[in-house]
A and B are shown apart, each in its own frame.
Chain A
């Protein structure tokens, strides 16, 4: 009888350890919140810094990005990481498009792929206009 009881206690102990391990991992799994962009550092740029038809290289959340002032559609922000293999794209003022210096990927002023190997458009970064400033993020 004693042995049986002893075994039951061990079983209960192991069982609860296992159960709580799973319960804990499940809890962490379900409550994982994405990087709270609300609190991430927002970048503020003055409108005057980016004249029409030009682009300014910025750093947003530790990654290279670019803010462009399109003559027809206004401001937009994109990640400078080319969607092909990760080189950084540069804006050509004369051609009004983004060019990747690694394999000649070309994106238009809206970030869409025009030619070359990139498979997807440039990742857009949300922004909003507040008076004279542009708030990125």
Chain B
């Protein structure tokens, strides 16, 4: 019996030695599947611009983008610059929508292709009007950078940046007006992260927080301190509502823990009692 089984298994093993030729073929196959770990990206823009042949400045662009928040959300070259990332010949073709890099004055419209609300607020602002009038003014890239764009935060507003054109006083007032609301937003974001780690996915609250925070930050681009101060109340109310929901969720989690601990004790108690019963002489 055992010889039969051993023989059958050897028969099975035999083909695997002959399959050595398949190794190369399907390792190639495998490497493009997530199974092997690293997925090979098929973005020709990156392949060229990151290669040794390019000037160091161009190579830096791809590195900068890799570190950005855009990259994390799968926004790549073609989403802003157009072109075809899969076809080498057409990768920088006007026919596929390639627009190259925008001129200084046209940057807001370039980013505003997607960030519409911010564009309209910016154009209404002192900064926007100055830019369109041809005077010295900031645009998106001035504060956010061009390729290594990170998540917006209140820390972008610094003396170093704003005092380039005028006194820091005005920017400081704005920062103060934003400060408390931003702090609350950061705190709520942290709580939501924690809740996710605890096994709850608070989708409605996440969306609500994102929309509140986005609207609030869009508002900032008007650089109108009074407007921000006026509307802070309404934003705080929305944030407080989200906070209430989060607190309720935390309370729910606490109840679950206590209930489960209670059940643990009852089962443990029963186990102990039965065990003692086995040791009790009749």
Measured CB to CB, the residues of A under 8 A from B are 1, 3-4, 7-8, 10-11, 14-15, 17-18, 21, 81-82, 85-88, 99-104, 116
In the complex, chain A residues whose CB is within 8 Å of the CB of B282: 1, 4
Known: A17-B266, A18-B263, A18-B266. A86 touches B206 (CB 8 A): yes
Q: Which of B225-282 contact A (CB under 8 A)?
A: 259, 262-263, 266-267, 269-270, 273-274, 276-277, 280, 282
Closest 10 interchain pairs by CB? Answer: A86-B207, A101-B117, A86-B211, A104-B114, A18-B266, A87-B211, A86-B210, A101-B116, A85-B210, A14-B270
A73 to chain B, nearest CB (A): 26
CB–CB B116/A11 < 8 A: no
Query: Which residues of the other chain, A, contact B211 by a CB distance below 8 angstroms?
Result: 81-82, 85-88, 102
Q: Give the interface SS of chain A, mostly helix, strand, loop or mixed.
A: mixed
| Residues of chain B with a CB closer than 8 A to A11's CB | 270, 273-274, 277
B280 adjacent to A102 (CB under 8 Å) = no
Q: Give every chain A residue within 8 A of B117 (Cβ-Cβ).
A: 87, 101-102
- 17 residue pairs bridging A and B, Cβ less than 8 Å apart: A7-B273, A7-B277, A11-B273, A11-B277, A14-B266, A18-B263, A18-B266, A85-B207, A85-B214, A86-B206, A86-B209, A87-B117, A87-B210, A87-B215, A100-B116, A103-B115, A104-B114
Given that A4-B280, A86-B211, A87-B215 are contacting pairs, would A14 and B273 also be in contact in the complex, using a CB cutoff of 8 Å?
A: yes
Contacts of A4 in B (CB 8 A): 277, 280, 282
Chain A nearest CB, measured from B115 CB (Å): 7
Chain A residues with Cβ under 8 A from B116's Cβ?
A: 99-102, 104
The interface residues of chain B lying within 8 Å CB-to-CB of A99 are: 116
What is the distance, in angstroms, from A114's C-beta to the closest C-beta of chain B? 14
**Chain B contacts for A3, CB-based, 8 A:** 280
List the A side residues contacting B206 at CB < 8 Å.
86
Q: How many A-B contacts if CB must be within 8 Å?
A: 69
Task: Say whether B208 faces chain A, with CB atoms less than 8 Å apart.
Answer: yes
The reply to whether B207 and A7 contact each other, CB–CB distance below 8 Å, is no
Chain A residues with Cβ below 8 Å from B215 are 87-88
Q: Note all chain B residues with C-beta closer than 8 A to A86.
A: 206-211
Which residue in chain B gives the minimum CB-CB distance to A3? B280
Q: Tell me which residues across on chain A come within 8 A of B115, comparing CB atoms.
A: 102-104
Which residues in A have their C-beta under 8 angstroms from that of B277?
A: 4, 7-8, 11
Q: Which residues of B have CB within 8 Å of A85?
A: 207, 210-211, 214
Report the minimal beta-carbon distance from A121 to chain B, rounded to whole angstroms: 16
Chain A min CB distance to B58 (Å): 27
- State which of B214, B269, B276 has its C-beta within 8 Å of the C-beta of A102: B214
In angstroms, Cα B150 to Cα A126, docked, is 40
Q: Does B105 contact A (CB under 8 A)?
A: no
Q: Counting CB contacts under 8 A, is B23 at the interface?
A: no
- Asked if B197 is at the interface of the complex by the 8 Å CB criterion, the answer is no
Q: Given A102-B115, A102-B117, A102-B211, 14 other A-B contacts at CB below 8 A? A: A4-B277, A4-B280, A7-B280, A18-B263, A81-B211, A82-B211, A86-B206, A86-B207, A87-B117, A101-B116, A101-B117, A101-B118, A101-B120, A102-B214
Q: Which among B113, B118, B211, B262 has the greatest number of chain A C-beta atoms within 10 A?
A: B211
Q: B262: nearest residue on chain A (CB-CB)?
A: A21
Question: B218 within 8 Å of A by Cβ?
Answer: yes
CA distance A86 to B120 in the complex (A): 20
> Hey, which chain A residues are within 8 Å of B118, CB to CB?
101
A74 vs chain B, min Cβ distance (A): 29
Q: Are B208 and A14 in contact, with the CB atoms below 8 A?
A: no
- Within the assembled complex, what's the spacing in Å between the Cα atoms of A102 and B221? 13
Nearest B-chain residue to A22, judged by Cβ: B263
A90 CB to nearest chain B CB (Å): 9
